[in-house]
């Protein structure tokens, strides 16, 4: 039994939701507009000020998708009302970040800087303070897209377990390993 899928989704004021015949859910709010196609085994119904999802059978696949699509639609509603934010921290000597509009330039200890063009739906800002690690802040109304962009930036230099250098989320804990022990 999917407990997540059974919970109704409350629709805040100022949000416009349309459900088409082909199970396409569109959510429009002050921050933007998102679309999600829903599997044909899940029925999406709009009641007064909430959305309810129902599954057609008790198969394992249908139960899993029931909770999945409920979470996706809920994230869409949160995204167009409040938005999402992710902070990445660059830990390492000489690691720098700068942005010009949607172009992010990272210096991560390679022989050349890494230049990335960020999607227009994601707002990128960088902050560098003396004595602190540079921070890259990503903001968007699309949770999937902001997670994908953050993962792409993090994959440029993953945090390593010996010195802890690399790109990580702010507040992320990295398990550290002991280095070589000196021989006598």
Are residues 76 and 98 both part of a single domain? no
Are residues 97 and 69 both part of a single domain? no
The residue among 54, 81, 108 that closes a domain is 81
Asked if residue 184 is part of any domain, the answer here is no
The per-residue pLDDT for 22 is 82
The residue among 61, 81, 101 that closes a domain is 81
- Render each residue's pLDDT in the chain as its tens digit; 184 residues: 458 888 999 999 989 999 988 889 999 999 999 999 999 889 999 988 999 999 888 888 898 899 999 999 999 999 999 999 999 999 999 999 999 999 999 999 999 999 999 999 999 999 999 989 999 999 999 999 999 999 999 999 999 999 989 999 999 999 999 888 766 6
The per-residue pLDDT for 182 is 64
Are residues 38 and 58 both part of a single domain? yes
Task: Reduce the secondary structure of 152-179 to three states and give it as a string.
Answer: HHHHCCCCCCCCCCEEEECCCCCCCCCC
Which strand (E) or helix (H) includes residue 76? helix 60-81
Number of helices and strands in the chain (H, E): 3, 13
Are residues 143 and 67 both part of a single domain? no
The per-residue pLDDT for 111 is 94
Domain residues for the domain of 162 are 84-169
Token reading at 78? 């949160």
The per-residue pLDDT for 77 is 94
Asked if residue 182 is part of any domain, the answer here is no
- Contact predicate 86/146, CB 8 Å: yes
CA dihedral 82, 135, 117, 154 (to 10 degrees): -100
């Amino acid at each position: 039994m999917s407990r997540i899928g059974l919970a109704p989704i409350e629709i805040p004021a100022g949000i416009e939701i349309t459900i088409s015949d082909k199970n396409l859910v569109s959510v429009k709010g002050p921050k933007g507009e998102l679309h999600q196609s829903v599997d044909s085994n899940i029925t999406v119904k709009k009641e007064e000020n909430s959305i309810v999802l129902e599954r057609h059978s008790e198969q394992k696949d249908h139960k899993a998708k029931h909770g999945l699509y409920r979470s996706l639609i809920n994230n869409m509603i949160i995204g167009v009302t409040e938005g999402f934010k992710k902070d990445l921290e660059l830990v390492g000597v000489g690691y720098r970040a700068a942005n010009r509009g949607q172009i992010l330039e990272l210096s991560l200890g390679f022989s050349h800087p890494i230049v990335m063009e960020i999607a227009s739906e994601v707002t990128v800002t960088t902050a560098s303070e003396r004595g602190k690690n540079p921070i890259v802040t990503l903001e968007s109304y699309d949770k999937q897209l902001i997670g994908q962009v953050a993962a792409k930036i993090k994959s440029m230099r993953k945090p390593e377990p010996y010195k802890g250098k690399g790109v990580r989320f702010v507040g992320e804990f990295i398990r550290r390993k002991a280095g070589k022990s000196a021989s006598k």
